[in-house]
Amino acid sequence: MRYLLGSLLALVLALGTPAIAEMHTQTQGDVVQLRDDHPKEYVVVKGDTLWDISARFLQSPWLWPEVWDMNNQIYNPHLIYPGDIIYLYWCDGKPCLSLKRDTGMQPKVTPLENAIPTISLRDIAAFLNDNRVVDEDLLERAPYILGGKNQRIIAGAGDRVYARGELVSDLRQQSIYRPAKEYRDPFDNELLGYELYKVADTLVAARDADVLSLDLTESVEEVRLRDRVLPRSEEPIQSIFTPRAGPMLDDAVILSVLGGVANIGQFDAVTINAGLREGLEAGHVYSVYSKGEDVRDPINGETVRLPSERAGELMVFKSFEKVSYALIMRATDVISIGDELRQP
């Protein structure tokens, strides 16, 4: 979901001489540079994000934390509100951001509910709390649905269903998940986990030996036989991400695209074959390189692999033990499953 900003936020660009405007500052992994077509002034509209605004001014929008960090006047760049005026200027030959706040328009409600988010949650909300990746052991231990009352094989909100097995936790609130796919590493065939998506929330009404009576409180889809019962996710939906270069990865690629779309483009969510064990965290950014094609040498007939070409960038927004979910932030070329990831 996108956050609705009740009013407008003005962004004013103050530049020095043309010679200074062409200067840039070196940062880890990439360079902070202004776009050639950056506007001198921009008024933020309803639904904008920090990434959107940065992309109008910076060639690499994920580097905006580097620009904010150069100015001590801005204590938390995530908490930008309607009515705030942000202007970019040059200090010591480097781009800097400063802020003017109209105290009369400062919101009187909880800041995080009104501040501009880093990225649009609309594109990832379904995958933050409703999808999860678990290992084989947890999937096998989770109770499974036996059926419903009157021998129903499908059920929905308001129905009672029965499951068999020992609960992973003793919480009364549980969720029902359906296995969606198995993830394996394309290089060594290692089992990386099983993706599950939530179909319903439920309350444990009773237990009789290893049979559970469950009352469905909310459902996204009908509950079916063999669906699994796991503790309800209580993690708050994260809206603040700090973009930064991720750690060096070996053989990291895009495993799949989430949401059932066929082609991968900007703002599509994807799964990659690296996770917490590789040190990945929400906010880590990588460049995506499309695999080079195999062509036939016209002289000697040999097959030659052409170099990989940069096709865009992605940002990790949720990590599991061996895989992570990421959002394609920019696509300059066709992105496909199997494309490799490199530090930007």
Per-residue pLDDT of 123-170, as tens digits, reads 788 788 789 999 999 999 999 999 988 777 777 888 999 999 999 998
pLDDT at 213 over 80: yes
Give the per-residue pLDDT at 184. Answer: 97
Average pLDDT of the residues in 168-191: 94
Q: What is the mean pLDDT of the chain?
A: 81
Average pLDDT of the residues in 79-104: 70
Compute the distance between CA of residue 315 and CA of residue 119 in angstroms, rounded to an integer.
10
Compute the distance between CA of residue 3 and CA of residue 72 in angstroms, rounded to an integer.
27
* Cβ–Cβ < 8 Å for 288, 252: no
Regarding whether 160 and 212 lie in a shared domain, the answer is: yes
Average pLDDT of the residues in 76-103: 69
* Count of domains forming the chain: 3
Q: What is the CATH number of the domain that holds 297?
A: 2.40.10.410
Give the per-residue pLDDT at 12. Answer: 28
Burial class of 55 by CB neighbour count within 10 A (0 to 12, 13 to 18, 19+)? middle
Domain-terminating residue out of 204, 231, 258: 231
Residue 112 per-residue DSSP state: G
Q: Which region among 13-27, 73-87, 213-227, 236-250 has the lowest average model confidence (pLDDT)? A: 13-27
pLDDT at 25 over 90: no
Q: What percent of the chain has pLDDT over 90?
A: 49
* Cβ–Cβ < 8 Å for 152, 224: no
Place of tokens 């969720």: 175
Report yes or no on 239 lying in a domain.
no
Average pLDDT of the residues in 78-96: 72
Give the per-residue pLDDT at 26. Answer: 38
Regarding whether 225 and 248 lie in a shared domain, the answer is: no
What pTM was estimated for this model as a whole?
A: 0.78
What tens digit of pLDDT does each residue of 235-278 get?
A: 666 767 889 999 999 999 999 998 766 679 999 999 999 999 99
Minimal CA–CA distance to 335: which of 184, 326, 88, 40? 326
Q: Which domain holds residue 253?
A: 244-342
Regarding whether 17 and 114 lie in a shared domain, the answer is: yes
Regarding whether 140 and 221 lie in a shared domain, the answer is: yes
Domain-terminating residue out of 118, 148, 166: 118
Give the per-residue pLDDT at 76. Answer: 62
Average pLDDT of the residues in 105-120: 61
pLDDT at 115 over 90: no
Q: What percent of the chain has pLDDT over 70?
A: 77
Regarding whether 297 and 266 lie in a shared domain, the answer is: yes
